Structure 1
Amino acid sequence: MITAIDNQRFCGREFTREELFLMQEVVETCAGISRTELSHTVCELLEWRRANGGLKACECLDFLERLEGQGFLKLPEARQIGPKKGTRRHIAPQTGEQPWAGLAGSVESFLPLDVEVVKSQKQRSLFKDLVSRHHYLGYAMPFGARLQYLVYVMKPGRQVVGCVQFSSPAWRMRVRDRWIGWDDAARERSLQRIVNNSRLLVLPRIRNLASALLSCVLRRLRKDWRDHYGIDPWLVETLVDRERFHGGCYRAANFIVLGETSGRGRMDRAHQRHGAEVKTVMVYPLVKDAAIRLRDGFGG
């Protein structure tokens, strides 16, 4: 186990050496409790909370596991519930029935759409199964905050037709940061006002369904995110794989094209993947003057 470590940043917070050694001490002295209990304990000691007062326990557990990977501490064995944990990404084969397969035509014939926030275990299982089977990236539990939606048509019967996921934003993206015009201090202050559309899955081949589905979710995202996390988001960002997609549904939903990524990936701070998987960066302001608010730090 290493005994020297520098300050580290994770999910928008800078942790000092003293705080890191406190985490190490908690893990060493609290033998017999689970990883989840450890994450709650660390959050309470360090006052690592969301704007609504809730503990950032999921983020804390991710951070503790990263510190374990660096050899800084040793967590208790994970208590497995369900399938054994392996890679964070899960891709399942496209097998089984596809009840939406017979739906066709124009989206106007299927309106209004019904949007549900994923809350129950049944909804979570359905969301994960659909994304695992039918999204080219598969399903991966996102770091930090997250909201997931299931979207249904009601005609001729109620049937799920799409999945949408929002999660924590990228720490640094050149074209986005240039569009906002903020410096490091402003980004640290306001970054959590941005949410990332990290998954969009549209199942049937209904004309204009993708943009209609996306617009329906965006109309309620701001309130849902505020109710869930106590933070009022001002901007949505998304990354579109330019080798696979044009991003037409985002353009039709009034997203703004900012440019392209360097290809490093959202979490690649060590510059190890430069030039790989270049993506188009698009944003959607949820409020008027979103860039000014993010840069200057004012607003509700």
Structure 2
Amino acid sequence: MPTSVALILRGRRIESEDLELIRSLIVAKGRRGRCYISRELCRRWNWTQPDGSLKDAACRALLLSLEDRGLIRLPKRRRGVIHGRPQGRGPRQVELPLAEPSGPDLGFPAAVSWRSAREGEDLSLYKALLDSRHYLGYQRAVGHTLRYLAYAHDRPLAAIGWAAAAQKVAARDQFIGWSPGQRLKNLHLVACNTRYLIIPRVPHLASHLLAANIRRLAADWKSRYGYAPVLLETYVDTTRFAGTCYKAANWIQAGFTQGRGKYDRHTRRTKTVKAVFLYPLRKDFRDILTDGE
């Protein structure tokens, strides 16, 4: 008889019947790999993004969380890849100009241009910059994403990444004032700034580029995914940074995380506590995010 299970993971309720389905897929299709199991599970659950695409990345995170709880055993990873990065290799390296743009050479701010780091050389450069210069490195994000590179005179200035919002953050949720049902319905309307790397040391450049990127973000997101976010979030490790560029760009510090991480199930602190910064894209963001159940 199936074990009685009732979990909420990645915004989805998991019952005993769901576990049996997952286990049967692993037995029948395990040789085809984790990605196949994730996509097939999304199709059977009809678990999709607002634009109709499968919630594949969220489903893979859900499966990892179930495995962490000892409820399933996933097949071994194929081709030695974890989070999009081959195992056994060091950080990606990228050759940058020896003379990084600064001061008058930058032509600040008129000379700044933007490229979408979606594929090809731009995506490779984006990954390489983060792996070589950002303390967290590059990691494939869950759900909808946008990645940008800022340039001046064909030299990279910054890499900025956006992705799906965190499932539960007490400080953010209290700031919005939504119920659990409203959060489940409208969470896709919040986007998270997951990475921000500034290369040259130019006064006020970080806040300027952040503000400039935000001005185009909603339109770019809608063009790609069919809807626009109404609120932005980010999390700053205050043991490393003061969040100065976010404050200068008029972000609101709403509080701090509890240091529990995405997959914590013991309600205990296992991660660094981070400052929670929010940026409304619309004046009526609360009305939109608290609409419906």
**TM-score normalised to the size of structure 1?**
0.85
What letter is aligned with 2:291?
D
Q: What are the Cα deviations for residues 234-283 of structure 1, in whole angstroms up to 9, with x where unaligned?
A: 10001111222221211221211212222333443432216x52222111
Give the Å deviation of 1:197. 0.7
Equivalent-residue separation in structure 1 for 2:90 and 2:127 (angstroms): 10
Equivalent-residue separation in structure 2 for 1:125 and 1:17 (angstroms): 42
Find the partner of 1:104 among 98, 102, 105: 102
1:40 paired residue number: 39
Equivalent-residue separation in structure 1 for 2:279 and 2:17 (angstroms): 39
Equivalent-residue separation in structure 2 for 1:71 and 1:219 (angstroms): 44
Where does 1:219-258 land on structure 2 (aligned, <5 Å)? Answer: 219-258=215-254
The answer as to whether partners of 1:222 and 1:233 remain within 8 angstroms in 2 is yes
Q: What are the Cα deviations for residues 119-169 of structure 1, in whole angstroms up to 9, with x where unaligned?
A: 21432221111101111222222233322111111xxx2111111111221
* Secondary structure of 1:257's aligned partner: strand
Give the Å deviation of 1:193. 1.1
* Secondary structure of 1:284's aligned partner: strand
* Secondary structure of 2:81's aligned partner: coil
Q: What are the Cα deviations for residues 215-237 of structure 1, in whole angstroms up to 9, with x where unaligned?
A: 12111211222233334211000
Say yes or no: does 1:270 pair with 2:269: no
The answer as to whether partners of 1:195 and 1:235 remain within 8 angstroms in 2 is yes
Where does 1:55-70 land on structure 2 (aligned, <5 Å)? Answer: 55-70=54-69
Equivalent-residue separation in structure 2 for 1:266 and 1:43 (angstroms): 20
Name stretches of at least 5 consecutive residues in structure 2 with no aligned partner: none
Where does 1:191-206 land on structure 2 (aligned, <5 Å)? Answer: 191-206=187-202
1:9 paired residue number: 8
Give the Å deviation of 1:87. 7.5
Distance 1:184 1:250, change over 3 A: same
* Secondary structure of 1:131's aligned partner: helix
1:285 paired residue number: 280
The answer as to whether partners of 2:163 and 2:191 remain within 8 angstroms in 1 is yes
State which drifts further: 93-102 or 35-44: 93-102
Distance 1:62 1:96, change over 3 A: closer
1:129 paired residue number: 128
Distance 1:265 1:35, change over 3 A: closer
Equivalent-residue separation in structure 2 for 1:249 and 1:59 (angstroms): 30
2:163 paired residue number: 167
Distance 1:242 1:55, change over 3 A: same
Distance 1:215 1:45, change over 3 A: same
The answer as to whether partners of 2:102 and 2:202 remain within 8 angstroms in 1 is yes
The answer as to whether partners of 1:100 and 1:160 remain within 8 angstroms in 2 is no
Say yes or no: does 1:294 pair with 2:289: yes
What letter is aligned with 1:290?
F
Equivalent-residue separation in structure 2 for 1:228 and 1:94 (angstroms): 28
Higher relative contact order (CA 8 A, sep 6+): 1
Name stretches of at least 5 consecutive residues in structure 1 with no aligned partner: none
Equivalent-residue separation in structure 1 for 2:275 and 2:283 (angstroms): 23
Say yes or no: does 1:25 pair with 2:24: yes
What letter is aligned with 2:213?
V
The answer as to whether partners of 2:229 and 2:281 remain within 8 angstroms in 1 is yes
* Secondary structure of 1:30's aligned partner: helix
- When the two chains are superposed, the root-mean-square deviation of aligned CA atoms in Å is 2.8
Indicate the percent of aligned positions where both proteins have the same amino acid. 34
* Secondary structure of 2:108's aligned partner: helix
* Secondary structure of 1:116's aligned partner: strand
Distance 1:182 1:280, change over 3 A: same
